[in-house]
Amino acid sequence: MVKRVAIIGAGVSGLTSIKGCLEEGLEPSCFERSDDIGGLWKFTVSVETTGHGMTKVYKSVVTNITKEMSCYSDFPFPENFPNYMKHTLVMEYLHSYAKHFDLLKYIHLKTTVCSVTKRQDFTTTGQWDVVTDMEGKRDTAVFDAVMICTGHYLNPHLPLESFPGESTITEIPRLL
């Protein structure tokens, strides 16, 4: 029986995890709660309404690592891209990576993973129940493994207590 792997998130890590599973003869299903791939590189004007409250690049982000150092090892950035690039070019690169390795057909967009739990027979099968929600439609599926690619910047960290007087500010300027 071919092993089924659930991959949570279709950002930089989720995309390459799909590819890795395929190379190992595993059957990946990737769940992404937003409507596109790219994770935090997908710029959204309003984080509250479209960013699911997660950290996203702001408008002026330019990469801070050279393109030779930050590309996937088997998929260099195009020759004509600058060494340090705007976030829109990173998105373009991720889309071409997904297209080149034919990864899109394994991705379920607008699908949130709600829970991952060990099955009753976990000690013998090692299997997981994965509950998803696709625009109100709940589904449960059984997987042999789960890869959590939800990003280490998933929840914005706002150390507001470090800024005395912050609570007296009525409007917080946004970095857009």
Ligand X SMILES: Cc1cc2nc3c(=O)[nH]c(=O)nc-3n(C[C@H](O)[C@H](O)[C@H](O)COP(=O)(O)OP(=O)(O)OC[C@H]3O[C@@H](n4cnc5c(N)ncnc54)[C@H](O)[C@@H]3O)c2cc1C
Which chain residues interact with ligand X by CB under 6 A?
8-14, 31-34, 39-41, 52, 54-55, 57, 61, 63-65, 70, 112-113, 149-151, 153-154
The smaller minimum CB distance to ligand NAG, of residues 64 and 73, is found at 64
Q: Which does 149 bind (CB under 5 to 8 A by kind): ligand X, ligand NAG, none?
A: ligand X
Q: Which residues pair with 6 in a beta bridge?
A: 29, 146
* Interaction of residue 64 with ligand NAG, rule CB under 6 A: yes
DSSP state of 150: -
Please give the size of the binding site for ligand NAG, defined by CB under 6 A: 2
Q: Which does 150 bind (CB under 5 to 8 A by kind): ligand X, ligand NAG, none?
A: ligand X
Q: Determine contact, residues 109/32, Cβ cutoff 8 Å.
A: yes
For residue 2 the two structure tokens come to: 């071919």
Q: Is 148 exposed, middle or buried (0-12, 13-18, 19+ CB in 10 A)?
A: middle
The smaller minimum CB distance to ligand NAG, of residues 44 and 132, is found at 44
The smaller minimum CB distance to ligand NAG, of residues 45 and 65, is found at 65
* Interaction of residue 62 with ligand NAG, rule CB under 6 A: no
Least distance in angstroms from the C-beta of 170 to ligand X: 26
* Interaction of residue 142 with ligand NAG, rule CB under 6 A: no
Residues 6+ apart with CB under 8 A from 37: 10, 11, 14, 15, 94, 95, 98, 104, 107, 109
* Interaction of residue 176 with ligand NAG, rule CB under 6 A: no
Binding site for ligand NAG (CB under 6 A): 64-65
